[in-house]
């Protein structure tokens, strides 16, 4: 090959490393030839599809040759009814990752800055660097966002601030008073993205509802997903809520038909399935308590989490432990790329899956 395509690529892209997802079950089966694998790596809902979503998917298959509704009318109406939003405030995405990238494309450019925290979601640095903007990373405080440090990091070049609440992969969270105090300090010219991918799992009266803050802060963008508590990870469907002015800009850079028909139908259906959401929360609460107790029995520290995952300190370099767990048929997530080399992130599974993880961890660590 005579052409140097690396040299042709945009500078920000040249320095990127591809996002590494959780290891698929099928890949591990091929590599090691083992069965009955437990995957607790990708913060998926262990209950599987809700029946309401499955019925909606089956009903929509007959129109599979048609393009989806590019405006997502039915889903936007459902979100409007559920959360009191105006349809003009909603931007649909191919998962919430998609709308995070839309924000970067709409507001970042070479020379601009994006502020986010150490240990925050990996997509923030990816979309910032790909655009050619500059990432300003503030040191974490107790594994979570230090909003005082983030406010101090805002400069004349800052265009976007990314905040994950709860944060992935640490599971830490910011209470309403702290968040509001921060938003009051942010200049209106700076767009604040509040990433609430795990908000449905949080059970605290002090936890902020980002959607309720939109009328007070016109520079706020709230992103949410149907991949976690609503169990639609395979279909890739999420959304942003913002002022109509910001939504208009996001829709200018959004790809046509970025939310497919089956995903829209399933999301519309599951949004009304209160029993499924309640069951998802209950399974998560019980599983979190099970893993916390198991880690304590093994003498392992962990970061208290309000998501559907928990980061455990394995008291040594986590990479070899991750590899050893794979050979035991358990897939978790190493988070060395988040500057957490001793931690593994474990998604909350069903009771038997959680126990399988704890048993394998005990064996691997010799405890």
For the chain, give the mean pLDDT: 95
Q: Decide if pLDDT at 1 tops 70.
A: no
Q: What are phi and psi of 297, to 5 degrees?
A: -65, -35
Cα–Cα dist 301/347, whole Å: 16
**Would you kindly state where each structural domain of the chain is located, as residue ranges?**
21-48+275-365, 51-272
Q: How many CB atoms lie within 10 A of CB 274?
A: 9
Cβ atoms < 10 Å from Cβ of 355: 15
DSSP 3-state of 38: strand
Looking at residues 130-144, what average pLDDT do you find?
A: 97
d(CA 362, CA 342): 16
CB 259 within 8 A of CB 92: yes
Closest CA to 252 of 124, 107, 349: 107
Predicted pLDDT at 32: 81
- pLDDT exceeds cutoff 80 at 178: yes
Query: Residue 144 half-sphere exposure, CB side, CA atoms within 13 Å?
Result: 18
Structure confidence at residue 31 (pLDDT)? 82
Question: Has this prediction a pTM greater than 0.85?
Answer: yes
Please identify, in words, the CATH class of the domain defined by 21-48+275-365: alpha beta
CATH code for the domain defined by 51-272: 3.40.640.10
Per-residue pLDDT reduced to its tens digit, 280-328: 999 999 999 999 999 999 999 999 999 999 999 999 999 999 999 999 9
Q: Of 176, 162, 172, 149, which is closest to residue 222 (Cα–Cα)?
A: 162
Number of C-beta neighbours around residue 269 at 10 A: 25
pLDDT the model gives residue 30: 86
Average pLDDT estimate for 120-131 = 96
- Mean pLDDT, to the nearest integer, of 211-238? 98
Looking at residue 64, its pLDDT comes to: 93
Specify the pLDDT at position 166: 98
Range list of H helices, the chain: 5-8, 11-14, 25-32, 51-60, 73-83, 96-107, 123-131, 147-153, 176-185, 244-253, 261-271, 274-297, 318-327, 351-365
pLDDT at 257: 95
Give the span between the Cα atoms of 330 and 327, in whole angstroms.
7
- Predicted confidence at residue 129, as pLDDT, reads 95
Q: Write out pLDDT tens, residues 33-65.
A: 888 899 999 999 999 999 999 999 999 999 999
């Amino acid at each position: 090959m005579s052409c140097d395509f690396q040299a042709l690529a945009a500078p920000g892209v040249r320095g990127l490393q591809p996002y590494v997802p959780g290891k698929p079950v099928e890949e591990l089966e091929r590599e090691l030839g083992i069965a009955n694998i437990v995957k607790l790596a990708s913060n998926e809902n262990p209950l599987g599809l809700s029946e309401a979503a499955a019925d909606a998917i089956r009903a929509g298959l007959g129109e599979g040759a048609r393009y989806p509704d590019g405006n997502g009318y039915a889903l936007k109406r459902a979100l409007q009814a559920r959360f009191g939003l105006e349809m003009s405030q909603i931007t649909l995405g191919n998962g919430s990752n998609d709308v995070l990238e839309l924000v970067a494309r709409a507001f970042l450019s070479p020379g601009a800055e994006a502020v986010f925290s150490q240990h925050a979601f990996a997509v923030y640095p990816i979309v910032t660097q790909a655009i050619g903007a500059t990432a300003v990373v503030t040191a974490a405080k107790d594994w979570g966002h230090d909003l005082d440090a983030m406010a101090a990091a805002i400069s004349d070049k800052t265009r976007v601030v990314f905040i994950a609440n709860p944060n992935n992969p640490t599971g830490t969270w910011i209470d309403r008073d702290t968040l509001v105090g921060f938003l009051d300090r942010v200049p209106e010219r700076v767009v604040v993205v509040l990433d609430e991918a795990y908000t449905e799992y949080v059970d605290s009266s002090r936890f902020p509802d980002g959607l309720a803050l939109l009328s007070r802060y016109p520079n706020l963008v709230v992103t949410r997903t149907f991949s976690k508590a609503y169990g639609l990870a395979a279909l890739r469907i999420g959304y942003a809520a913002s002022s109509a002015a910001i939504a208009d800009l996001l829709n200018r850079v959004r790809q046509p038909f970025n939310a497919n028909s089956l995903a829209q139908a399933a999301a519309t259906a599951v949004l009304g399935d209160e029993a499924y959401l309640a069951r998802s929360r209950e399974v998560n609460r019980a599983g979190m308590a099970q893993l916390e107790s198991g880690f304590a029995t093994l003498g392992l520290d962990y970061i208290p989490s309000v998501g559907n995952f928990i980061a455990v300190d394995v008291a040594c370099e986590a990479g070899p432990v991750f590899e050893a767990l794979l050979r035991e048929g358990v897939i978790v997530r190493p988070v060395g790329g988040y500057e957490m080399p001793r931690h593994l992130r474990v998604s909350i599974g069903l009771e038997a899956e959680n126990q399988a993880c704890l048993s394998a961890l005990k064996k691997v660590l010799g405890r």
